[in-house]
Amino acid sequence: MKPKVPNNSGRIATPDTQATWSANILSYVTDFSTAWNRFWFTPTFPHTLGVLRIATGAMLFYMHMVWGSDLLSFLGPDAWLTGDVIRLIHQGDYTWSYLNYIDSPPLLWAHHALMLMVALCFAVGFGTRITAPLAWFLNLMYCHRLTGHLFGLDQVMMLLLMYLMLAPCGSVYSVDAWLQRKRKRAGKSPSWWLPDATPSSATQVATRLMQLHLCVIYLFGGISKLRGEMWWDGSALWYALVNWEYQSIDAVWLGHYPTLLGALAHITIFWETFYCATVWPRFSRPWTLALAIAVHGGIAIGLGMITFGLMMIVVNLSFISPITMRAIVAKITRRPASE
């Protein structure tokens, strides 16, 4: 007869049941580990991130052209907010930029020219092993210096730059890829400076971080609206439409359809709050992404934030498989997918 051992629940456990529990726990840990590794480290093709790199680089270049159109008003010795004031604002935190200490206009212009050059190189995919982290770092320094002028666009740009630099995003649709092919045709060995367009775990890690970060943004964007009564009584979109400072298209006539405005407000809060759940299953993902395009497209066109709306759509593209993205690009450019 087998000895009986009392367990915490008061029931009698035999060594057999203990062994089953141990096996179950071990099985859970093994399954969790396998799922974790598959989620984070499955090597993935870089084509989606290649497209995101072009969009992000182009927007980065445009953003800095706009800063440059009145550079000294934003960064100069008599800027709207001087370096001294920014240092005071960030006293005691870790938001630091060397730009807080630069007052010399020639130096600021030289630095800005470097920023524009890096953004352009990043967009066309030239020297991305260097230009990707450099684009992130330089833009970070601008963000820390330009407190008071920033909004959602800057947040999403920093998100994209931070994760794109972790992956070989310059290995496709880029000058680097063209140079790599040229080297191979000439019979030379591949260079580390020119990343290969092969599946990599780095691409997967960057993609997952981007996707999860986006889920956090939408989760808090959604639940923060749950606190507001206007999102529930259906008047929120009316007050967004009649905001003269945001308005870029006169859509005040929509106020004649309060049922429609109420429904749109409710769709927005449910979509935003549950995005982090509905974007993962294969069957709900297309609907979730379609709503993202509709919402951000509306913000871009109606509320005058074309840049912000566009980049939010871009970051949503991180949920498109690289295989699909490659096929779409091949179809649009009418070039073989192998190029």
Partner 1 sequence: MAKDRNTAKTPNQHEAPVASNELAPPASASPWSSKWRLILSIAVTVHMVAVFAEPFRFFTRSSQRSFSPDAGYIRSWLSAYIDFAYLHHGYFFFAPNPGPSHLISAQIGKVTPPNQPKEILIPDKTVQWPRLYYHRHFMLSEFLHNSFAPPEQPAEAINDPVIDQQWRRDRELYVAVKSSIENHFRISEKSEAVIVRRIEHALPNDIQVYRDKWKLNDPRLYIVLPESLAEQTPTLVNPPLAPVGSPVPLPMRNDSGAEVVEGGSP
Kindly identify the residues of this chain, within the stretch 61-120, that bind partner 1 according to CB under 8 A.
Answer: 62-63, 66-67, 69-70, 73-74, 78-82, 84-85, 88-89, 93-96
Is residue 76 within 8 Å of 105, Cβ to Cβ?
A: yes
Is residue 299 within 8 Å of 307, Cβ to Cβ?
A: no
Q: How far is the CB of 151 from partner 1 (least distance, A)?
A: 5
Residue among 129, 183, 208, 266 that touches partner 1 (CB under 8 A): 208
11 or 256: whose CB is closer to partner 1? Answer: 256
Q: What part of residues 209-228 is at the interface with partner 1 (CB under 8 A)?
A: 209, 212-213, 216-217, 220-221, 223-225, 227-228
Q: How far is the CB of 229 from partner 1 (least distance, A)?
A: 7
Closest CA to 254 of 239, 270, 238, 266: 238
Closest CA to 249 of 289, 291, 309, 311: 309
| Count of residues touching partner 1 (by CB under 8 A) | 109
Residue 143 identity (one-letter amino acid):
C
3-class secondary structure, 334: coil
Is residue 180 within 8 Å of 196, Cβ to Cβ?
A: yes
Range in contact with partner 1 (rule: CB under 8 A) among 1-9, 21-29, 185-193, 324-332: 324-332
Q: What share of the chain is helix, strand, coil (3-state, %, to 5)?
A: 70, 0, 30
The secondary structure of 47-107, three-state, reads HHHHHHHHHHHHHHHHHHHHHHCCHHHHHCCCCCCCHHHHHHHCCCCCCCCHHHHCCCHHH
Q: What part of residues 18-57 is at the interface with partner 1 (CB under 8 A)?
A: 34, 36-45, 47-48
Closest CA to 294 of 271, 325, 324: 271
Binding mask 151-190 for partner 1 (x = CB under 8 A): xxxxx--x---x----------------------------
12 or 337: whose CB is closer to partner 1? Answer: 337
- Which whole-number Å values give the CA distances from 102 to 49, 83, 96, 117, 263, in the listed order? 34, 8, 13, 20, 50
13 or 221: whose CB is closer to partner 1? Answer: 221
In angstroms, the CA 13 to CA 124 distance is 66
47 or 111: whose CB is closer to partner 1? Answer: 47
Residue among 112, 204, 273, 313 that touches partner 1 (CB under 8 A): 204
Q: How far is the CB of 62 from partner 1 (least distance, A)?
A: 8
Residue among 207, 262, 276, 302 that touches partner 1 (CB under 8 A): 207
Q: What part of residues 247-266 is at the interface with partner 1 (CB under 8 A)?
A: 247-248, 252, 255-256
